[in-house]
Amino acid sequence: MRKFINPSPDIWAELVKRPTKNLEELEPGILQTFQLVQEQGDAALLQLAQKYDGVQLQSLLASEVEIAEAEAKVPQELKEAILQAYSNIQLFHTQQAEPVRQVETMNGVNCWRKSVAIDKVGLYIPGGTAPLFSTLLMLGVPARIAGCREIILCTPPAKDGSIHPAILYTASLLGITHIVKAGGAQAVAAMAFGTESVPAVYKIFGPGNQYVTVAKQLVSKTGVAIDLPAGPSEVLVMADESANPAFVAADLLSQAEHGDDSQVVLLTTSEEILQQVEQELEVQLNVLPRREFAAKALENSLGVVLNSRQSMLNFSNLYAPEHLILSVADFEELMEGITNTGSVFLGHYSPESAGDYASGTNHTLPTNGYARAYSGVSLDSFVKKITFQYITREGLQNIGKTIETMAEAEGLEAHKNAVSIRLKELDRV
């Protein structure tokens, strides 16, 4: 962890930069992948599965037999946990549905907005180093609530060509049957452009490593929509003297273990807490199965002592972390000052893992500072909001003059005429 004691605000902008490669470095390789997929379709996906996932696939699609057999391979305890998480995520996201509200802006001028599902969506489920079936719940549940008709799932295959049974089991729960064994930029390209086995979709969802995230950003220039840039995981913890150093270290490690390009940040008003957390990190890191990823991520991470709660807040808002934990005694006031983050965890007993798996909130969240302007995935991500209006004869007489005046001032006579022609007819009757 890189340590800073009361760093001058002049260097904060430098400190909040993430350790990820930039777009320019990754772009040429990803554009080559796009071209290959566009030219060769399924053949390119098979070739790239061999190159990047080290597997020679017999088929790109998971078969009905593979999907059916997965259920028996998932332990009962895990099934129950998945069902509990499913239910909480469903409850939280169902409440996000907006009722249709008709507003009469003037007498006879009626406006309303309706949410309509995006017809064809593609879900990317990371699987490079860990099979994130929890991500399938985070994307599949709101897609189902929204009513998306066609759901395509892409996830990288394991070295033996299989897909983790928990991903297949979760897909079955969600009624998703079009499961493609493809990862990385090639999966994103397949869902954007279509191949023989992968129908092109209207919007691509899902987190992933830097290749996946940059690929999504690049395809979004070609007409397909994307949810948000959700790259390598991050957490920022603000800790005061009341924090438990072992809890804080555990929270930092929980995101550091995602990958060596993850970054975690500790902000504290106490040098002693920083030291204690560092000691705890060492103890807990050594027994983690994914300690190599976590150790690399920690090298890129920050421990910063600041002299006030307000400074912690200012730094955090500038950093705009994917996840923010307030490990402080009285979080209420601090909470009100938060402006930039994906998701907030309050107090000493709200670990970030709760949001990753089961509390109900969505874990697909903006990283790399994008939380300054983006929100995480929600039910809204899977719908379009279409506006409607119905103007009565009386309504047009009420609003007509306003439209005519504005159209004339913009020099758009045809716009004005569309109103005038009707008003003249109404004057005649």
Ligand X SMILES: NC(=O)c1ccc[n+]([C@@H]2O[C@H](COP(=O)([O-])OP(=O)(O)OC[C@H]3O[C@@H](n4cnc5c(N)ncnc54)[C@H](O)[C@@H]3O)[C@@H](O)[C@H]2O)c1
Ligand Y SMILES: N[C@H](CO)Cc1c[nH]c[nH+]1
Q: Which residues are annotated as a binding site for Zn(2+)?
A: 255, 258, 356, 415
Binding to ligand X by residue 135, rule CB under 6 A? yes
Among 323, 348, 352, 363, the active-site one is: 323
Rounded-to-5 percentages of helix, strand, coil across the chain = 50, 15, 35
Given ligand Y, Zn ion, ligand X, none, residue 217, with its beta carbon under 5 to 8 Å by kind, binds none
Cβ pair 129, 293 in contact under 8 A: yes
3-class DSSP state of 112: strand
Beta carbon nearer to Zn ion, 255 or 269: 255
Cβ pair 181, 49 in contact under 8 A: yes
Extract the annotated binding site: 124, 186, 209, 233, 255, 258, 323, 356, 410, 415
323 is a catalytic site residue: yes
Beta carbon nearer to ligand Y, 120 or 290: 290
Q: Which amino acid is at 159?
A: K
Angstrom distance (rounded) from CA 353 to CA 252: 11
- Residues 61-120 binding ligand X (CB under 6 A) are none
Given ligand X, ligand Y, Zn ion, none, residue 253, with its beta carbon under 5 to 8 Å by kind, binds none
Please identify which residue in 34, 197, 356, 365 interacts with Zn ion, judged by CB under 5 A. 356
Among 322, 348, 352, 363, the active-site one is: 322
Given Zn ion, ligand X, ligand Y, none, residue 134, with its beta carbon under 5 to 8 Å by kind, binds ligand Y
Angstrom distance (rounded) from CA 399 to CA 45: 56
Residue indicated by tokens 């990820």: 20
272 is a catalytic site residue: no
- Residues 13-72 binding ligand X (CB under 6 A) are 52-53
CB of 322 to ligand X, least distance (A): 6
For residue 357, how many C-alpha atoms fall within 13 Å in the half-sphere facing its CB? 13
The sign of the torsion formed by the CA atoms of 307, 310, 312, 318 equals negative
Q: Enter the tokens of residue 277.
A: 């957390």
Angstrom distance (rounded) from CA 95 to CA 280: 39
CA torsion angle for 172, 174, 177, 178 (degrees, to 10)?
A: -140
CB of 176 to ligand X, least distance (A): 17
Total residues interacting with ligand X, rule: CB under 6 A: 30
Beta carbon nearer to ligand Y, 132 or 185: 132
CB of 10 to ligand X, least distance (A): 30
- Point out which span in 8-16, 216-224, 225-233, 242-250 binds ligand X (CB under 6 A): 225-233
- 120-124: strand order across its sheet: 178-181, 150-155, 120-124, 203-205, 225-226
Largest CA distance in the chain: 87
Check residue 305 and give left, alpha or beta (phi > 0: left; psi -120 to 50: alpha): beta
- Residues 294-323 binding ligand X (CB under 6 A) are 322
Binding to ligand X by residue 258, rule CB under 6 A? yes
Angstrom distance (rounded) from CA 302 to CA 4: 8
Beta carbon nearer to ligand Y, 127 or 303: 127
Extract the annotated binding site for NAD(+): 124, 186, 209
* Residues within the interface to ligand X (CB under 6 A): 52-53, 126-130, 132, 135, 156, 183-185, 207-209, 211-212, 230-233, 258-259, 262, 322, 363-365, 367
- Catalytic positions are 322-323
Task: Please report, as ranges, the residues that interact with Zn ion according to CB under 5 A.
Answer: 356
